[in-house]
């Protein structure tokens, strides 16, 4: 018969181990084993992206890809750990042996198959930017994502509140689990890819693009007196006194609701849906992380299919300012705005460096795939120029302005409940609006795009401050880059750095500018974000 050991207790103390050894003849069936576990030395840092491991469940054993695992195996359960489990874990070995009635081995093994160690996985994350993002968001409820718009590489990803993946390394305690799953702020939810919320006024950038492509926005001018009536109902502007005369440029940097109500009414829901869908809303981005949400981009057909009801024209008005039925995830929004900033270039967001992945992963996930959405150059220039004024005194987020950095962006505030419900509960903090900001630098051919979601942040300008802190960290790092970094053979792991410095003359003054190079030691590997047990690959 085959024997499967039953684990009675984990993490036994040295005294308990000594007791078992001292009474081994009396307890022949009892044995101690050395077990390895995944260690996450940085705890909650980047927890949602990395994920966690745990014992394979019975349900997982019945799923494709887990046929060769056995009860007790430790596998990835979320994040990168789950997405790239096959790479990180390697393959189990096996031994066929003869055992006696007590389950003890007798003689030599009949057959042995060595295990294959897991491989390391290189991520696209810039650790310096990740630290900046983690510090920027602090203990606020929400998410921050930074992406390279040229490649789709995720440079930073934070979701709050976070959790400690070490709690899951073997078996999480029931009390800890109950606390996590009952927390109303959902700490186990990766809000960067799973939070589905109304985008608020950030959606106006897609509206502006759609309006320009349809030759409507170029000549559209409205007078905003604080609201406008459509289909027998008054829709208010966020500035109750109104914006006065408004064209497309002013509508973007001052976020005039009345302008976009009017534009939405002229476009209609199906044309709005056509462009929003082209920029990836209402569908998964394809990011290489599990359980990504798809969001919702409504249309007449969508409502008929899901609710068997006709779409009403009045519903389109709310969609025009990113309210109503439209909901997005932060990673969807960053991809859409990235595409607009890059003249229609659509990339696939990803967290694993494709250069180190097996070819079968690249074929399935299309990490390097690039799509092109037609965007008129004149419209693209006008829209991004208007976005650059959002952080100026006349815009909606002047407090997020950083002198010397050319940032274009858009704020957004999304209602969690209807205005009527909100009026009844004015003092209830749970009804606070969600703040959004998505921005990039520089305005032309940007190097980085950042999206910030601040749940309960009330105003988009608060989210803008979080995002621009990350942008500033990125720009500062680029300015700190050494003038020359060259690996030379025979330097024993050292790197030659080109440098400039000053030194005083013999009198101690008149500093002279000098140039040269020096060698610095480089670690063979960076600090691991997750330390691997034997047989498990590490994440760098």
Q: What is the pLDDT of residues 347-404, one digit of tens each?
A: 999 999 988 787 777 655 666 678 899 999 999 999 999 999 999 999 999 999 999 9
Task: Please report where in the chains the tokens 């410095």 appear, as a residue.
Answer: 501
Is 47 a member of any domain?
no
Domain of residue 458, CATH code: 3.40.710.10
Is 516 a member of any domain?
no
Alpha-helix runs per DSSP H in 190-329: 191-194, 204-213, 248-253, 257-267, 269-278, 300-307, 313-319
Is 525 a member of any domain?
no
Is 536 a member of any domain?
no
Is 340 a member of any domain?
yes
Report the alpha-carbon distance of residue 221 to residue 430 in Å, rounded.
Answer: 37
Alpha-helix runs per DSSP H in 239-291: 248-253, 257-267, 269-278
Is 62 a member of any domain?
no
Structure token digits, residue 442: 């520089």
Is 54 a member of any domain?
no
Rg of the Cα atoms in the chain: 28
Domain with 434 in it: 127-169+190-480
Can you give the pLDDT at residue 373? 93
Report the alpha-carbon distance of residue 149 to residue 157 in Å, rounded.
Answer: 15
Can you give the pLDDT at residue 60? 82
- Determine how β-strand 434-441 pairs with β-strand 154-160: unpaired
Report the alpha-carbon distance of residue 326 to residue 331 in Å, rounded.
Answer: 15
Report the alpha-carbon distance of residue 200 to residue 320 in Å, rounded.
Answer: 9
Residues of the chain with pLDDT under 70: 1-5, 102-103, 362-368, 416-432, 481-540
Can you give the pLDDT at residue 529? 54
Angle at the Cα of 375 from the Cα atoms of 372 and 380, rounded to 5 degrees = 130
3-class DSSP assignment, residue 181:
helix
Full-model pTM: 0.83
How many domains, in total, are found in the chain? 1
Q: Are 87 and 113 in contact (CB under 8 A)?
A: no
Active-site residue identified among 78, 201, 299, 388: 201
Does 201 qualify as catalytic in the annotation? yes
Is 9 a member of any domain?
no
Report the alpha-carbon distance of residue 248 to residue 263 in Å, rounded.
Answer: 10
Which residues fall within 8 angstroms of residue 6, CB to CB, at 6 or more apart? none
Report the alpha-carbon distance of residue 241 to residue 288 in Å, rounded.
Answer: 46
Can you give the pLDDT at residue 155? 98
Can you give the pLDDT at residue 80? 95
| Residues linked to residue 449 through DSSP beta bridges, in sequence order | 147, 440
């Amino acid at each position: 018969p085959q024997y499967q050991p039953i684990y009675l207790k984990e993490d036994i103390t040295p005294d308990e181990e000594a007791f078992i050894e001292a009474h081994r003849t009396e307890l022949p069936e009892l044995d101690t084993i050395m077990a390895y576990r995944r260690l996450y030395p940085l705890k909650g840092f980047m927890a949602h992206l990395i994920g966690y491991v745990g014992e394979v469940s019975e349900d997982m054993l019945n799923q494709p890809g887990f046929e060769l695992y056995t009860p007790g195996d430790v596998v990835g359960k979320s994040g990168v750990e789950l997405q790239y489990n096959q790479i990180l874990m390697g393959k189990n070995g096996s031994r066929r042996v003869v055992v006696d009635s007590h389950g003890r081995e007798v003689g030599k093994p009949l057959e042995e198959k060595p295990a294959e160690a897991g491989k390391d996985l290189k991520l696209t994350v810039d650790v310096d930017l990740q630290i900046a993002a983690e510090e920027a968001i602090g203990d606020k409820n929400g998410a921050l994502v930074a992406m390279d718009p040229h490649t789709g590489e995720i440079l930073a990803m934070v979701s709050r509140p976070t959790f400690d993946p070490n709690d899951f390394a073997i078996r999480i305690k029931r009390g800890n689990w109950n606390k996590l799953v009952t927390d109303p702020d959902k700490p186990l939810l990766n809000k960067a890819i799973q939070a589905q919320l109304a985008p608020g006024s950030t959606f106006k950038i897609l509206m502006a693009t759609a309006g320009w492509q349809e030759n409507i926005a170029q000549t559209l001018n409205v007078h905003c007196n604080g609201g406008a009536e459509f289909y027998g109902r008054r829709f208010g502007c966020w500035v109750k006194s109104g914006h006065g005369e408004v064209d497309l440029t002013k509508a973007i940097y001052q976020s005039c609701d009345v302008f976009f109500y009017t534009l939405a009414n002229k476009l209609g829901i199906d044309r709005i849906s056509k462009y929003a869908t082209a920029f990836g809303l209402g569908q998964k981005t394809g990011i290489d992380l599990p359980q990504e949400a798809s969001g919702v981009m409504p249309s007449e057909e969508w409502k008929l299919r899901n609710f068997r009801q006709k779409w009403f024209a009045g519903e389109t008005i709310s969609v025009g300012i990113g309210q109503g039925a439209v909901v997005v995830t932060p990673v969807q929004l960053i991809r859409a705005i990235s595409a607009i900033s890059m003249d229609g270039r659509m990339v696939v967001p990803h967290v694993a460096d494709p250069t180190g992945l097996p070819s079968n992963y690249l074929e399935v996930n299309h990490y390097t795939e690039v799509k092109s959405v037609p965007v008129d150059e004149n419209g693209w220039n006008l829209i991004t120029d208007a976005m650059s004024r959002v952080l100026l005194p006349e815009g909606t987020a002047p407090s997020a302005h950083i002198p010397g950095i050319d940032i274009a962006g858009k704020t957004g505030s999304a209602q969690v409940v209807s205005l009527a419900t909100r009026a009844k509960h004015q003092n209830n903090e749970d009804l606070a609006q969600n703040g959004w900001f998505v921005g990039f630098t520089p305005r032309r051919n940007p190097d980085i795009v950042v999206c910030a979601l601040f749940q309960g942040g009330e105003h988009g300008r608060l989210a803008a401050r979080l995002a621009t802190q990350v942008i500033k960290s990125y720009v500062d790092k680029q300015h700190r880059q050494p003038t020359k970094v060259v690996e030379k053979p025979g330097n024993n792991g050292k790197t030659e750095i080109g440098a400039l410095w000053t030194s005083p003359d013999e009198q101690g003054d008149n500093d002279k500018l000098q140039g040269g190079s020096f060698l610095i030691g480089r670690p063979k590997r960076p600090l691991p974000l997750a330390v691997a047990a034997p047989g498990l690959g590490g994440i760098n």
